[in-house]
A = this chain, B = another copy of it.
Amino acid sequence: MSQLFGAIEAGGTKFICAVGSGPDNIRAKLRIPTTTPKETLSLAMAFFHEQEETHGPLAAIGISAFGPIDPHPTSPHFGYITTTPKLAWQYAPLVPMVREEFAVPIGFDTDVNGAALGEQRWGAAQGLDTFVYLTIGTGIGGGGMVNGELLHGLMHPEMGHMYINHDWERDPFPGVCPFHGDCWEGLANGPALAARWKQPGESFPPDHEAWLLEAHYVALGLVNIISILSPQRIILGGGVMSQPHIFPLIRREVRHQVKGYIQMEELNEKIDDFIVPPGLGNQSGLLGSIALAQKALAQSA
């Protein structure tokens, strides 16, 4: 009998919880609105207890969370969401709260690192050791691996907050980031798309100029990621990227911006395999949380 794991994909508007062991074995799933840590977590814990009664004990629990978070196991705030603008969640001790109820190994990382791990185990990053997973939706977040290890460093990446070149003549829109205005996220997330063109992004036809500008901005960020990290592949998920027609535009813009400087086939004839959608669709984060649980179990052995 295979082991079962608890998974929490902790998002800013909803928590998705599941019990299972991989893409082909999800036993149960629950969606909980993100209200307060106490309320949301107690519903998640009740769900796991209930599942244990049906399926037997969970071997480990994995949590991938919106951030910023503290992912350093030796830090006093390990397992906390830290300086989020969502006031009720500032310094919310996610891992300690789960640990109070479940004496099992607990994996914890950013939502995008979780998704990256899921994509490496079952999705579009299998066999790779250095790659990036980005979500472009309400915000822009990036995670990934270098040499087979998830990216952490000082804190963890905050890729959405890099600066890209903003040509004010082409695009006088000032950006929507409350911290930086026209950082990458401020120019290219879903809310920026909607505010600039005064209609929700999903409603633009594929030939609307909004997509050309969006592809231009996404590509500028990708070129910076390529320059700084040299990934073997870039996986683009999130709501804005759920429109397949934007992928060819982004690939063309990336090639245009690199201007032949990096002569690798991945940036030329093989670019369709270099900039790709998630192999796990919109399940990367939830499955990634299962992968985080499995990793925590393996590391505790």
What is A's interface to B at a CB cutoff of 8 Å? 68, 82-83, 130, 142, 146-147, 149, 151-166, 179-180, 182, 220, 223-232, 257, 259-264, 266
Tell me how far the C-beta of A146 lies from the nearest C-beta in chain B, rounded to whole angstroms: 4
User: How many identical chains are in the complex?
Assistant: 2
Residue of B at shortest CB range from A233?
A: B154
Chain B residue numbers with a CB within 8 Å of A259 are 179-180
Give A52 to B171 CA distance when docked, in angstroms.
63
Nearest 6 A/B pairs, CB to CB: A153-B230, A130-B153, A146-B146, A147-B149, A162-B227, A162-B224
Within the assembled complex, what's the spacing in Å between the Cα atoms of A144 and B68? 24
Smallest Cβ-Cβ distance to A182: which chain B residue = B165
Q: For the complex, what is the distance from the CA of A157 to the CA of B147, rounded to whole Å?
A: 13
Are A157 and B227 in contact, with the CB atoms below 8 A? yes
Complex partner residue of A228 from B68, B83, B149, B157, CB under 8 angstroms:
B157
In whole angstroms, what is the CA distance A261 to B85 when docked?
Answer: 10
In the complex, are the beta carbons of A180 and B261 less than 8 A apart? yes
The smallest beta-carbon distance between A153 and chain B, in angstroms, is: 3
Q: For the complex, give the distance between the alpha carbons of A261 and B153 in Å.
A: 16
Docked-complex contact B228 and A179, CB < 8 angstroms? no
Q: Report the bound CA distance from A224 to B227 in whole Å.
A: 11
State A162–B130 Cα separation when bound (angstroms): 18
- Once the chains are docked, how many angstroms separate the CA of A230 from the CA of B130? 15
Complex CA–CA separation, A224 to B261 (angstroms) = 20
Given contacts A153-B231, A164-B163, A165-B166, is CB(A158)–CB(B225) below 8 Å?
no
CB distance from A32 to the nearest CB of B (A): 28
Complex contact A230–B156 (CB within 8 A): yes
Contact A158 B232, CB 8 Å, known A147-B146, A147-B147, A163-B223: no
